[in-house]
C-alpha cells in the first residue's frame, strides 16, 4: 500500500515537472515569443504531461484492478503444482474405493428418477393431474440425494485426510498440503482460503483460521506480491521517464501540440460515452451468463421455469420438508407482478391523466405553481418511504376495512396495499409525461375546435386527447415498465408467499421481491437457488426493455408528427 502510494505521488510530481519542461522548451523553441509557436505554450506542457503521466497511470490502474488476483492465481498455482502427487494419489484412491463408487452410482440413479418425477409433475400440472404427489416424491428424492451427497463428501474427506497425512512434515510437504486443500475446496471456500492467507501475509483484516496450510499459502503469496508490486511501480516510473524523454525531443515551434492534446481529449470524451454501451453490455452478459448457468443446473427445462406453477426455490435439507424440492415455476411471480401492476395502473392512469389535463388546460398559473411542485415532491420521495407507508399505514387500514366488511382472512401485507401505494408513486410519472405530450399538441387544433363552438371539455375529449393518444399510450407503457421493476414497495408491503391468486386482499409475491429474497441473507453462490435470481432478473430486464423500446418509439413518432 505504502509503495503504491509513493509511486502515485512520484508520478504526480513527474507529471507536473513534465508540464513545466514542456512549457519552457516550447517558449525556448519559439525564442521567447509565443506567436512563433503553432500552439499556445501551455499545450506543449499538456502534451508532455500526457506522455509522462498517462501510460504510467494506466499501468498502475491495471495493476490495482488485476494485481491481487494475478498474484493469487500464480502463488496458488505454484502450490497446486507442488500438490500434484497428492492429487494423483487421492484420485487413484477414490477410483479404487468401492464404497465411494457405489454411492456415485446411486446418485446417478436417483437423479434419473428425479428427472422422470419432474417431467411427470409438469405433465400432471398441464393436464390437471395430482401434481402435489409428484412434488412430494420429488422432495423425498432430493432429500435422499442430499443425504448421499453428504455421505460421499464424508468419504472424500476421509480419503483426502489419509492422503494428506502421508505428506511429510517438511516445508515442501506443508506447501503440497496447502495446494491440495486449495485444490479440493469448492469455489467459495477457495475465496475464504485466499482471504485468510492474504490476511496473514499482508495484515488485510483478520484471518478466520490460522493453520499450517494457510501460513504456507501466506508465505507463498509474499514473494509474488513483492515482485509484482515493485515491478509495477518500477515499470510505471520507467514508462513515465521514457515518455517524458521521448515527448521532449518532439517539441519544436512547428509542432502541432494542440491538435495532439485535443485528440486525446476527444478520445477520452468518446470513451465516457462508450460507458453507456458497456453498462448495457454488462447487464446483458452478466444476466445471460448467470441465467445460462441456472438453466444448466435445472437441466435446461426452460419451459418449466416460464410456465411452471410452483415456486419454492429452497432445496430440501431434511426428508420431511414437504414441498421443499426446489421447484422453479415462475408463473406465480409473473401473476403477482401483473396483479400489482394492474392495481397500480388503475390508480395512477386516471388520476395522473386527469391531473395532467387539468394542469395544462384549465389551471390558473397560481394553481400550477402550487400543484406542480407537490407532484414533483411525490416523485422525489424514496421508494423505501412508500414501502414504510404501505406497510404501517395503508396495510393495517385496508385490513381493518376488509374485516369490517366481513372478509375475515384479511392480511396486512396484501397486493392491494402494495398496488395502491405504487399507484400513488407513479401518479407524478404519468402526469408529467402526459403533460409534456398534451402541451405538444398544436394550439391550432384547439382553436379550430373552439371556433366550431365546442366547449373546453369537448375540445379536450374529442380533439386534444385523440391527437395526444399515441404519446399518452407511450407514457402509460413507461409507467407500466416502472411499476413492473419497482422493488422496495412490494418487498415491504406485498408479502413473500408465492400465491397464485387474483384476490387483491391476499399476499402475493413479485419478480423483484423474489430477487431480493434470493440474494439477501445467507447465500451460497453457484446454487440454483441463487442463480435463479439472475434468470428472474433477465426476464425483468427483457420485459422492461421491450416496454421501453415500444414506448420510446411511440412517443418519438408522436413528436415527429407535430414538429
How far is Cα 226 from Cα 201, in angstroms, rounded to an integer?
A: 11
Task: Report the candidate in 138, 213, 146, 142 with the shortest Cα–Cα distance to residue 175.
Answer: 213
**Residue of 46, 134, 193, 386 that binds other proteins (CB under 8 A):** 386
DSSP code for 37: S
By CB under 8 A, the residues from 266 to 295 that bind other proteins are 266, 268-270, 272-277, 279-280, 282-283, 286-287, 289-290
Q: Give the interface size with other proteins as a residue count (CB under 8 A).
A: 92
Question: Least separation, in Å, of the C-beta of 378 and other proteins?
Answer: 5
DSSP 220-269: HHHHHHHHHHHHHHHHHHHHHHHHHHHHHHH--TT--HHHHHHHHHHHHH
Closer Cβ to other proteins, 101 or 393, answer by number: 393
**CA separation for the pair 134, 139 (Å, rounded):** 8
Residue placing its CB nearer to other proteins in the complex, 128 or 453? 453
The reply to whether 418 sits near other proteins by the rule CB under 8 A is no
42 near other proteins, rule: CB under 8 A: no
Between 212 and 231, how does the x/- string for binding to other proteins read (CB under 8 A)?
A: --------------------
Q: Which of residues 533-552 bind other proteins (CB under 8 A)?
A: 533-534, 537, 540-541, 544-545, 548-549, 552
| 251 closest CA partner among 29, 15, 18 | 29
Among all chains, which residue has been given the C-alpha cell 519559439? 30
Query: Which residues 452-481 are close enough to bind other proteins by CB under 8 A?
Result: 455-458, 460-461, 478, 481
**328 Cβ partners below 8 Å, 6+ apart?**
298, 304, 305, 308, 311, 313, 528, 532
Minimum distance, C-beta of residue 239 to other proteins, in the bound complex (Å): 24
Burial class (CB in 10 A: 0-12, 13-18, 19+), 465: middle
Shortest spacing between CB 485 and other proteins, in angstroms: 2
Q: Which is nearer to other proteins, 28 or 552 (CB)?
A: 552
Q: Give yes or no for residue 441 binding other proteins (CB under 8 A).
A: no
- For position 377 contacting other proteins by CB under 8 A, the verdict is yes
Contact between 200 and other proteins per CB under 8 A? no
Q: Which of residues 508-527 bind other proteins (CB under 8 A)?
A: 512, 515-516, 519-520, 525
The contacts of residue 169 (CB under 8 Å, 6+ apart) are: none
Which burial class, exposed, middle or buried, applies to 171 when counting CB atoms under 10 A from its CB (0-12, 13-18, 19+)? exposed
Q: Taking CB under 8 A as the rule, which mask of x and - marks residues 232-271 in contact with other proteins? A: --------------------------x---x--xx-xxx-
* Min separation Cβ 445 and other proteins, Å: 18
Amino acid at each position: 500500500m505504502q509503495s503504491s502510494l509513493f509511486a502515485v505521488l512520484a508520478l504526480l510530481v513527474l507529471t507536473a515537472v513534465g508540464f513545466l519542461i514542456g512549457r519552457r522548451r516550447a517558449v525556448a523553441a519559439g525564442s521567447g515569443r509565443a506567436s512563433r509557436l503553432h500552439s499556445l505554450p501551455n499545450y506543449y506542457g499538456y502534451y508532455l504531461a500526457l506522455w509522462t503521466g498517462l501510460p504510467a497511470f494506466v499501468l498502475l490502474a491495471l495493476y490495482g484492478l488485476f494485481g491481487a488476483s494475478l498474484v493469487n492465481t500464480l502463488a496458488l498455482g505454484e502450490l497446486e503444482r507442488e500438490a500434484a502427487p497428492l492429487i494423483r494419489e487421492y484420485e487413484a484412491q477414490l477410483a479404487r474405493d468401492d464404497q465411494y463408487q457405489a454411492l456415485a452410482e446411486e446418485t446417478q440413479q436417483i437423479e434419473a428418477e428425479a428427472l422422470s418425477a419432474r417431467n411427470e409433475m409438469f405433465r400432471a400440472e398441464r393436464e390437471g393431474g395430482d401434481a402435489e404427489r409428484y412434488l412430494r416424491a420429488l422432495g423425498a428424492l432430493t432429500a435422499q440425494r442430499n443425504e448421499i451427497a453428504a455421505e460421499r463428501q464424508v468419504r472424500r474427506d476421509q480419503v483426502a485426510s489419509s492422503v494428506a497425512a502421508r505428506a511429510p512434515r517438511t516445508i515442501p510437504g506443508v506447501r503440497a498440503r496447502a495446494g491440495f486443500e486449495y485444490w479440493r475446496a469448492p469455489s467459495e471456500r477457495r475465496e475464504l482460503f485466499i482471504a485468510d492467507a492474504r490476511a496473514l501475509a499482508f495484515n488485510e483484516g483478520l484471518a478466520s483460521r490460522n493453520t499450517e496450510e494457510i501460513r504456507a499459502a501466506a508465505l507463498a503469496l509474499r514473494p509474488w506480491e513483492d515482485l509484482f508490486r515493485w515491478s509495477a511501480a518500477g515499470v510505471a516510473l520507467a514508462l513515465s521517464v521514457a515518455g517524458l524523454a521521448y515527448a521532449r525531443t518532439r517539441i519544436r515551434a512547428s509542432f502541432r501540440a494542440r491538435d495532439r492534446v485535443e485528440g486525446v481529449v476527444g478520445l477520452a470524451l468518446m470513451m465516457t460515452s462508450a460507458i453507456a454501451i458497456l453498462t448495457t453490455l454488462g447487464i446483458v452478459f452478466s444476466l445471460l451468463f448467470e441465467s445460462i448457468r441456472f438453466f444448466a443446473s435445472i437441466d435446461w427445462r426452460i419451459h418449466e421455469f416460464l410456465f411452471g406453477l410452483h415456486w419454492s426455490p429452497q432445496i430440501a435439507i431434511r426428508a420431511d420438508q414437504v414441498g421443499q424440492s426446489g421447484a422453479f415455476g415462475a408463473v406465480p411471480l409473473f401473476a403477482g407482478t401483473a396483479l400489482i401492476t394492474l392495481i397500480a395502473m388503475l390508480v395512477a392512469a386516471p388520476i395522473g391523466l386527469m391531473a395532467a389535463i387539468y394542469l395544462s388546460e384549465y389551471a390558473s398559473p397560481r394553481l400550477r405553481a402550487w400543484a406542480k411542485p407537490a407532484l414533483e415532491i411525490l416523485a422525489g420521495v424514496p421508494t423505501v418511504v412508500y414501502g414504510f407507508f404501505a406497510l404501517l399505514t395503508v396495510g393495517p387500514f385496508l385490513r381493518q376495512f376488509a374485516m369490517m366488511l366481513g372478509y375475515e382472512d384479511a392480511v396486512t401485507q396484501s397486493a392491494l396495499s402494495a398496488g395502491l401505494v405504487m399507484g400513488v408513486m407513479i401518479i407524478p410519472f404519468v402526469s408529467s409525461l402526459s403533460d409534456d405530450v398534451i402541451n405538444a399538441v398544436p394550439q391550432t387544433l384547439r382553436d379550430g375546435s373552439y371556433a366550431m363552438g365546442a366547449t373546453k371539455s369537448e375540445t379536450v375529449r374529442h380533439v386534444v386527447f385523440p391527437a395526444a393518444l399515441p404519446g399518452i399510450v407511450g407514457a402509460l407503457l413507461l409507467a407500466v415498465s416502472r411499476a413492473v421493476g419497482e422493488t422496495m414497495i412490494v418487498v415491504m408491503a406485498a408479502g413473500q408467499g408465492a400465491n397464485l391468486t387474483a384476490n387483491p386482499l391476499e399476499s402475493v409475491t413479485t419478480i423483484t421481491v423474489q430477487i431480493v429474497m434470493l440474494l439477501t441473507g445467507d447465500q451460497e453462490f453457484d446454487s440454483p437457488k441463487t442463480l435463479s435470481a439472475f434468470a428472474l432478473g433477465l426476464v425483468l430486464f427483457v420485459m422492461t426493455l421491450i416496454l421501453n423500446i415500444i414506448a420510446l418509439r411511440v412517443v418519438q413518432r408522436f413528436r415527429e408528427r407535430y414538429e
